[in-house]
Structure 1
Amino acid sequence: MSRAGPDSVLRPLGIFEKFMVTRSQLGVYHKVGVTAFYSFDRKTTTHSLRSVLYSALALVISRHANLSITPVDPDSSEPYFARLPYVDLDEVVTFTEIDDVLDGQGRHHPVLDGFLEREHSRPWDLEVPLPLWRLHVLQQPGDESRFVLSYMFHHAVGDTKSALVFHQALENSLNNPTETEGPSKVVSPNLPLVPPLDAFVDTTRVVDGNGSEEPDGLWTGARQFLPVRTKCRSLRFGANDSAEFLRMCKGHGVSLTAAIQAMLVMALFEKVPSEYTALKTDCPISLREWLPPPVSALSMGIFVDTFLETHRRSDFLVDGAKGPFAWVHDAQRTKRRIDRAVRERRGDGLLEKLVYIKDVRALTMDKMGQPRVTSLELSNVGKLPSLKEDRRAMIQGLVFSQSAGAVSGAIKVSCVTGRDGRVVLGFTWQEGVVEDVFMDGLVEEFQAILDQDLQCFQKTPMN
């Protein structure tokens, strides 16, 4: 495949897009992934799964310009997106048979976690003219009625909502099959790119340094360093526990995001030494529902902001001691912060802050060896809408995961809810920032808090 020519120039990279490309070029952060478990009625087609998927992907690519673009001159001061002449699916789609890939062990899925670790540690080569996404088709030997699609993408071409858009579009295409063999080379559509977020945000707006101060006694794991090797562990709630957890959140007047963050912070305080009395969290929020056309719920792009919060160990004590629902006060505070973000239609103004960084590369490298700013990052992408009827191809469970970052919180937690009703958390961390045994203990502590409080909630009169 030859590099896209000048006639395929689309537009310069926006502020977020340049930031994401620079990070990946430095090896600081690699990719985002949303993995979907599909059920598939093989009796409805005589074509191979490869052919069926290729036909569906051709349709999805024809409707989304971001799936056929590549950055040109990524290390320059003025990189731009160019349209590739075509997408060679043989270059971006892989088929792999893995034993036990479809079924985890209760709440955990070590086989899938191992796969995600490898992929999230794999860097991008932006000198190769390929689109900024890969699709991994994972099959269990002898089982053709189910498969796993792991969609890995560069953050420059989308936020995680964009990945849900991809999976929904692919699911729809799989349910509207053609009788022709799917092509391996798909001609890129002549579609414009949606403008970057900076086209819709007043980047001259003054933002305060909310959350930028470092509190006393802050824990943020090991200092920032390269290279990055990602470690991964997923945690799947049962369908019944997920439903009860949502009822418990409602009963306490908090959102799922606020509750999970507070419980994670509470669990983390249990695992770090007692001299650490503060933790700082970073939580993204989606802006797309407040943006004007052409941005829509089906757009692919980066349309997010973030907000920081500081949490004190003393906030999790009730009358000086720990007990059931000790996280609720902290969760209610976060819920108020989320409500404020909704009212203001913004977070702390991450994009506006990036405008004033003259040299992202130099600033990033200057941070190596320095303490991290945050302890924990929680991203909750939400859930897919339910289907009214069964279809031949259906998404069941979902797993949201992302690469660890050399310049980010010590621990990343990514949350999504599948159509099976199960809330799933993807824990990722950089090897050497925290130890694996520490993370095992953190996940176990979080599970213990969840289980204890679900039992208490089910026994309370308010329930």
Structure 2
Amino acid sequence: MTTSVSKLEVLRPVGYLERYTTARNHLGFYTNVAVTATYMLPAAYSRPLRDYVYKACETLIGKHPNLSAIPIGEDTRVPYFARLPAVNLDQCVLFQEWKTAADSESGFERQAELDSILEVQHNWPFKGSTAPFWRLCIVTDSGNPCVFTASFIFHHSVADGGSGAAFHRMFLDALKDMAASTLTSDDVKSVIPSPNTPLLPNVEELHPMPYSMSFAIHLYLKDRFGETREPNLWAGAKITAPLENRVRHVVISKQHTIVFAELCRKNRTTVTAALQTVIAAALFRNLPAKFTKLNCDGAISNRRWLRGNAVTDDSIGNWVQDFQEKYKRQNFYKQTKKGDNNDVEFSWTEAQRSRRTIERILNSGGKNSRMYLLKYVRNFQKEFFLPKIGKNRASSFEVSNLGVFRLYQPQENGRSDGTEREVEVPRISRVIFTQSANVTGAALETSAVTGPDGCLVLGFSWQKGVIEEELVAAVIDTVAKELATFGEKQ
């Protein structure tokens, strides 16, 4: 299906936050976001998997206009959203089989293969096409046809991480609805007409965007004259292009996830704040001692502050904002405080401080977010992104946590891995959240989510050449070991 851009229905202008994402996509500075889930179907779902996937996609496309909307003019100062007349699922739903056998004990081989799949997807941008700005990558196992893994990959102007989780919740419900009916080949279509409902408003239309004058002046001067590298700050290599994504994910067992969450509550902090602190400690432990400072970027959903009832947790769109936190090496030393890397350890005091930072943002209604000043940028490519090439990077790492993946209703029967007992209705077990590295953003991206299987999963991504591969491997290993041994330390 090919359609001339000039004949597409114009929906609305791209908002300022959305324009930030379209501009960096056009430049190849950021590609996409992905939320991945493993599904289990009852044996009664005996038709080809493609039929169930296509039917569920039809349901979601009919409910969410963003799934048939694409940004036009990403290279211009006035991009806009247009509606495709229909979505051809053959263009955006991909099927492939696992190459490695399932490992019931650890799953490490499958994890490595999934990392490779996600890496391919995150290096495949949405641009120069009138196809949908999302795709669904389905990975199947010929030995277990009732289990499949689905990665929902999308352009960040179309959806945010919370939207990715919502997609899977609604996709699961669409699969469940088929249990009450007999699906036939006549019911399955590959070309789905787009709905005629309008796009939901952008974040600027629904939020007051409060900021102080001192905050605005500070950001203006920093963007105008460049980022002055703080002494002893580590933030990877200087900003460079092109982008080549590297991706890896780590699964924390259900038992260790439970212990970690309980310890966070016991120590008066949150999982997000503690994760930031764990990663900061892991970086300090593996970096030369001369690096004494780290800057962390965090992400918060704006949905809680939006006016009216148009946007809910099930809406698909982009409504997020950022915040910043700083860490100092001296606050991670043991009592001896010798200043050696071996004396660096996780600090609950730092985790509590990070929680207070997040609470301050929440209590202020999101005041003083950098995204609020995007409306003063006239040309995102020429004024905001391209001048940063060759300059110092401001952020060391980012943590974006979707929290616990919430289902509409409790799941029935079956084990979390779907291998031990027959399920009576479609179910989801593991969920994984990953995203592209950001050329002008943090050196290391960490995306977190806890799935219905009870496992906290951390998705790490970075730009090749910005961080040494050995350093990334050491940091990830340190984080995984720290989270796995919290219970042993108490």
**TM, length-normalised to structure 1:** 0.94
Cα RMSD, aligned residues only: 2.0
Amino acid at match of 1:396: S
Runs of 4+ in 1 over 4 A off after TM superposition: 4-7, 101-105, 209-214, 322-325
What is the DSSP-based 3-state SS (H/G/I as helix, E as strand, rest coil) of the residue aligned with 2:25?
helix
Contact 1:107/1:238 (CA < 8 Å) preserved in 2? no
Amino acid at match of 1:306: D
Contact 1:306/1:347 (CA < 8 Å) preserved in 2? no
**TM, length-normalised to structure 2:** 0.89
Amino acid at match of 1:159: D
Deviations 1:397-419 (A, max 9, x none): 01100111211111000000100
Alignment partner, residue 153 of structure 2: 152
Q: Which runs of 5+ in 1 are unaligned?
A: 458-463
The Cα of 1:350 is off from its aligned counterpart by: 2.3
Q: How many residues align?
A: 455
Deviations 1:78-112 (A, max 9, x none): 11111110000000001101223765873751110
What is the DSSP-based 3-state SS (H/G/I as helix, E as strand, rest coil) of the residue aligned with 1:44?
coil
1:230 aligns with 2:230: no
1:280 aligns with 2:295: yes
Alignment partner, residue 410 of structure 2: 388
CA distance in 1 between partners of 2:291 and 2:343 (Å): 20
The Cα of 1:4 is off from its aligned counterpart by: 5.0
Deviations 1:182-230 (A, max 9, x none): 1000000111111000102335743516897753210001111111111
CA distance in 1 between partners of 2:473 and 2:276 (Å): 18
Deviations 1:98-135 (A, max 9, x none): 2237658737511101111111111222x311111010
CA distance in 1 between partners of 2:84 and 2:44 (Å): 34
Contact 2:397/2:443 (CA < 8 Å) preserved in 1? yes
1:74 aligns with 2:74: yes
Deviations 1:319-344 (A, max 9, x none): 34377974211111110011111211
Amino acid at match of 1:140: D
- What pairs up with 1:8-407 in 2 under 5 angstroms? 8-41=9-42, 43-100=43-100, 106=106, 108=108, 109-125=111-127, 127-177=128-178, 178=181, 179-181=183-185, 182-203=188-209, 205-206=211-212, 208=215, 214-292=229-307, 293-321=309-337, 326-346=346-366, 348-362=368-382, 363-386=384-407, 387-390=409-412, 391-407=424-440
What is the DSSP-based 3-state SS (H/G/I as helix, E as strand, rest coil) of the residue aligned with 2:177?
coil
In structure 1, which of residues 425, 431, 435 is the aligned counterpart of residue 464 of structure 2?
431
CA distance 1:271–1:62, shift in 2 (3 Å): same
Deviations 1:269-299 (A, max 9, x none): 0111111110000000111022122111111
Amino acid at match of 1:149: A
Contact 2:209/2:367 (CA < 8 Å) preserved in 1? no
Contact 1:120/1:403 (CA < 8 Å) preserved in 2? yes
Contact 1:233/1:426 (CA < 8 Å) preserved in 2? yes
Percentage identity across paired residues of the two chains: 31
CA distance 1:356–1:206, shift in 2 (3 Å): farther
CA distance in 1 between partners of 2:430 and 2:19 (Å): 33
CA distance in 2 between partners of 1:348 and 1:451 (Å): 36
Contact 1:65/1:191 (CA < 8 Å) preserved in 2? yes
CA distance in 2 between partners of 1:365 and 1:324 (Å): 37
The Cα of 1:384 is off from its aligned counterpart by: 1.8
Alignment partner, residue 420 of structure 2: none
Amino acid at match of 1:376: F
Amino acid at match of 2:467: V
The Cα of 1:260 is off from its aligned counterpart by: 0.8
Contact 1:44/1:392 (CA < 8 Å) preserved in 2? no
CA distance in 2 between partners of 1:95 and 1:205 (Å): 46
CA distance in 2 between partners of 1:93 and 1:445 (Å): 36
The Cα of 1:57 is off from its aligned counterpart by: 0.7
Q: Which runs of 5+ in 2 are unaligned?
A: 223-227, 413-423
Contact 1:4/1:83 (CA < 8 Å) preserved in 2? no
Alignment partner, residue 460 of structure 1: none
